[in-house]
Chain A
Amino acid sequence: MNKFWLVFLHEYKRHVMRKRFVFAILSMPLFVAFIVFVGFLSVWLQIDNKPVGYIDQYQILENPQQVPVEKKSIFSPVPSLPFADEASAKNALNAGEIQAYFNFSENYMSTGEVTMTSNEKPGANAEDDFGDFVSYNLVKGMPEPIIERLTDGSNITVRSLDGSREMGADNWMVILLPMLAGILFIIAVNISGGYLMQAVVEEKENRTMEILVTSVSPTQLMAGKVVGDLLVGLTQLVVWILFLIIGLKVAPLFIPDMGSMPAIDGKYILLIAGTMLPAFVMIAAAMGAIGATATESQEAQQMAGFFTLPIVVPFWFVSQIMFNPNGALSVGLSMFPLTAPISLPLRAGFTNIPWWQTSITITVLVILAIFSLWLSGKIFRIGMLRYGKKVSLKEAFRRS
């Protein structure tokens, strides 16, 4: 077993200490940060904080006041300025003092009719902020709890019949987590499975393999490589998750409306780990075997596509899984080994999965992971030295 650790450590260090690994690990959070920044920039460009005017000739608002700013935000609300008549509002508009003005109709209270006048399209926030200003002044004077309910709306919690699973409007984590875990899983599988495949093909191409197999048994070699690569993938995931947590802690400082991060159920994390870890071993071992059978790295890349494609399939059916989590398709996807790592946690976010389904899925995945390791060790033994010749599956089963 000693040599297993040597192979494992070598494989892990070999990838983690490479510059391109550090680059790969940092590029993802930087990319996300860039996307968020661009998103903010585009919102910011659409926002115009120049005041809007209003003409309230029918005295609809009583002693109007600006909406008090409760939370700190990078986007402050657009102030609403009163004008006595349309002519003065028009002058202010033409002078560039306001971006638009609103004129209440006589029967506003029954129809809600308001006309807006502007020279160019007003900022995206102008209408909303004026709406808030009107609502605030209309309900002013009512008891505080009523005002709060009227302005903030309801907080609906969706609960399953037996009460064991619930999802509030705030608990966006239930949807986000499996989706995010799924995306990270796909990326990790592709990156580290790719590393493994590449490593095997390289060792085959530069003939290091001959030295290795006369020093270590093929099974130890393969197991060391797969586990080493699994840890490379996990290292990558842990770093990304750390960045995500930092991001989620930092983001509310800038986006007050985002709310605090909801607590994540420990069982849920276990479910994700229980499906994704064996699935990872299964796919990584298969990719290692592909590396051993392929004659050159380009061919190996093409063959690897067959394994990565089914993993993505559940994303095409996200809406089916969300709205009909106990339908045949959802159950099927969550139990089929290649689609399970993403479908099962996703389904678990919307329904109570019977324990037997979870147990069967995880057991099958673990068995397949062990089988895949064993088979790849075998294929590896036959395929490693047959330069320029492929190994058929039939051969893998038949020969030692």
Chain B
Amino acid sequence: MSTINVEQISKSFGAQKAVDNVSFDVEPGEIFGLLGPNGAGKTTSIRIILDIFKPDTGKVSILGGQMTEEKKNKIGYLPEERGLYQDISLDRCLIYLATLKGMDEHEAQKRISEYLEKFDLAASKKKKVKELSKGMQQKAQLITTLVHKPEIVIIDEPFSALDPVNTQMVKDILQEERARGTSIVMCTHQMHQVEALADRIALISQGKTVLYGTLANVRQQFAKEALIVRTSSALPAELPGVSEIEKTNSHNILHLVEGQKPQDILRELLTRNIVVEQFEIALPTLDEIFIEVVKNKGVSE
């Protein structure tokens, strides 16, 4: 059973249609990437899922039904712009927000201490939140999102302001959460993180879903007839079946003539005694797919 089921939701603010007939499901134990350019309607969709806004049409089902006060305790939310009380101490702020998620204070204290140790924030727990750096506040916000062991985690830009070490730690934590069976909805512009983490994605542009499926399927869908080839000696200027050879610092991209099979190219290279170090079918990166889809969408409109 899906933990989140979004069915044809639409929402307008005045004349502007922020979300237009968007549908997707999120399964238990998966990381779901919700992608889209700025102003595409991602945050509005999330707010509808969280019952902050009511949709004009369509419906959302959370953990098998409508949002209730009890279900709020099973959701962890990390908003795009960070929301922590600035003028109270870090531990007081975290404990208060954890108890609002239904934890008893003693348990909250215990688990927050563990997280503070893990995130290297224990020494700063008595500091006021506003005295912490951006990265520290981001980690504190993540503690608020995860401390009550939610069944659904919705995170908007989880890696912003984090250094590589902390980014890796957050990635590990998200993977641990996924292994625990948590449904994670992740909104981010960092496509390489989505590639590294997400099982499935939905791409929203101008309020509409323009891509939806597993990461592998989506990349396959956008695969062009091209090869990535790295050789120890230089490639000949022309090869049969290859329309263009594009050189990069580390490898060559061979654009194939329509209908050309990659196996024939490999055979041709081997017969010419060229030592092949890398030979793979060039799948587009999510970045490229993102730009292509969003641009095309813009052009078609």
Check A209 against B72 for contact (C-beta < 8 Å).
no
| Residue A214 lies at the interface, judged by CB distance under 8 Å to chain B | yes
Within 8 A of B (CB), among A212-235: 212-217
Size bracket of the A interface: 20 to 34
Check B47 against A3 for contact (C-beta < 8 Å).
no
Check A214 against B88 for contact (C-beta < 8 Å).
no
CB A71 to nearest CB in B, in angstroms, measures 53
Residue of B nearest to A385 (CB): B52
| Residue B253 lies at the interface, judged by CB distance under 8 Å to chain A | no
Give Cα A206–Cα B100 distance, bound, in whole angstroms: 18
| Residue A14 lies at the interface, judged by CB distance under 8 Å to chain B | yes
- CB contact between B83 and one of A211, A216, A217, A400 (< 8 Å): that residue: A211
| Residue A207 lies at the interface, judged by CB distance under 8 Å to chain B | yes
Give Cα A3–Cα B96 distance, bound, in whole angstroms: 10
Check A210 against B79 for contact (C-beta < 8 Å).
yes
Which residues does chain A contribute within 8 Å of B81, judged by CB atoms?
207
| Residue A208 lies at the interface, judged by CB distance under 8 Å to chain B | yes
| Residue B84 lies at the interface, judged by CB distance under 8 Å to chain A | yes
Which residues does chain A contribute within 8 Å of B84, judged by CB atoms?
206, 208, 211
Check B77 against A212 for contact (C-beta < 8 Å).
no
Check A209 against B83 for contact (C-beta < 8 Å).
yes
CB A325 to nearest CB in B, in angstroms, measures 47
Size bracket of the B interface: 20 to 34
CB A287 to nearest CB in B, in angstroms, measures 20
Within 8 A of B (CB), among A71-116: none
- CB contact between A210 and one of B52, B75, B85, B100 (< 8 Å): that residue: B52
Check B83 against A210 for contact (C-beta < 8 Å).
yes
Which residues does chain A contribute within 8 Å of B82, judged by CB atoms?
206-207
Within 8 A of A (CB), among B69-90: 69, 72-73, 75, 77, 79, 81-88
| Residue B99 lies at the interface, judged by CB distance under 8 Å to chain A | yes
Which residues does chain B contribute within 8 Å of A207, judged by CB atoms?
79, 81-83
Check B54 against A3 for contact (C-beta < 8 Å).
no
Per-position binary interface string of chain B over residues 44-73, scored 1 when its CB falls under 8 Å from any chain A CB and 0 otherwise? 000100111110000000000000010011
Which residues does chain A contribute within 8 Å of B87, judged by CB atoms?
18
Residue of A nearest to B144 (CB): A211
Check A214 against B83 for contact (C-beta < 8 Å).
no
| Residue A134 lies at the interface, judged by CB distance under 8 Å to chain B | no
Give Cα A15–Cα B77 distance, bound, in whole angstroms: 27
Check A214 against B99 for contact (C-beta < 8 Å).
no
| Residue A10 lies at the interface, judged by CB distance under 8 Å to chain B | yes
CB B62 to nearest CB in A, in angstroms, measures 11
| Residue A6 lies at the interface, judged by CB distance under 8 Å to chain B | yes
Check B97 against A211 for contact (C-beta < 8 Å).
yes
The answer to whether A217 and B69 touch (CB under 8 A), given A207-B81, A211-B83, A385-B47, is: yes
Residue of B nearest to A207 (CB): B83
The answer to whether A215 and B72 touch (CB under 8 A), given A6-B99, A210-B52, is: yes
| Residue B101 lies at the interface, judged by CB distance under 8 Å to chain A | yes
Give Cα A385–Cα B47 distance, bound, in whole angstroms: 10
Check A206 against B83 for contact (C-beta < 8 Å).
yes
Which residues does chain A contribute within 8 Å of B85, judged by CB atoms?
14, 203, 206, 208
The answer to whether A400 and B54 touch (CB under 8 A), given A206-B86, A208-B84, A211-B144, is: yes
Check A14 against B88 for contact (C-beta < 8 Å).
yes
CB A396 to nearest CB in B, in angstroms, measures 15
Within 8 A of B (CB), among A1-31: 3, 6-7, 10, 14, 18
Check B96 against A214 for contact (C-beta < 8 Å).
no
Residue of A nearest to B79 (CB): A210
The answer to whether A215 and B83 touch (CB under 8 A), given A210-B52, A385-B52, is: no
Give Cα A295–Cα B282 distance, bound, in whole angstroms: 50
Q: Max chain A CB contacts within 10 Å: which of B50, B81, B83, B87? A: B83
CB A123 to nearest CB in B, in angstroms, measures 54
Residue of B nearest to A213 (CB): B52
Which residues does chain B contribute within 8 Å of A213, judged by CB atoms?
52
Check A211 against B88 for contact (C-beta < 8 Å).
no
Per-position binary interface string of chain A over residues 385-400, scored 1 when its CB falls under 8 Å from any chain B CB and 0 otherwise? 1000000000000001
- CB contact between B96 and one of A6, A202, A206, A209 (< 8 Å): that residue: A6
Give Cα A211–Cα B100 distance, bound, in whole angstroms: 10
Which residues does chain B contribute within 8 Å of A400, judged by CB atoms?
54
- CB contact between B100 and one of A14, A209, A216, A385 (< 8 Å): that residue: A216
Which residues does chain A contribute within 8 Å of B77, judged by CB atoms?
210-211, 214
Residue of B nearest to A211 (CB): B83
The answer to whether A6 and B83 touch (CB under 8 A), given A14-B88, A214-B77, is: no
Give Cα A220–Cα B77 distance, bound, in whole angstroms: 19
Residue of A nearest to B47 (CB): A385
Within 8 A of A (CB), among B211-267: none
Per-position binary interface string of chain B over residues 128-146, scored 1 when its CB falls under 8 Å from any chain A CB and 0 otherwise? 0000000000000000100
CB A115 to nearest CB in B, in angstroms, measures 71
Within 8 A of A (CB), among B30-52: 47, 50-52
- Give the 7 A-B CB pairs with smallest separation, nearest first: A207-B83, A215-B100, A208-B83, A210-B79, A207-B81, A211-B83, A214-B77
5 A-B pairs within 8 Å (CB atoms) are namely A6-B100, A206-B82, A209-B83, A211-B97, A214-B72
Further pairs besides A14-B88, A211-B144, A214-B72: 16, Cβ < 8 Å: A6-B96, A6-B100, A203-B83, A207-B79, A207-B81, A207-B82, A208-B83, A210-B77, A211-B97, A212-B83, A214-B50, A214-B75, A215-B101, A216-B69, A216-B72, A217-B69
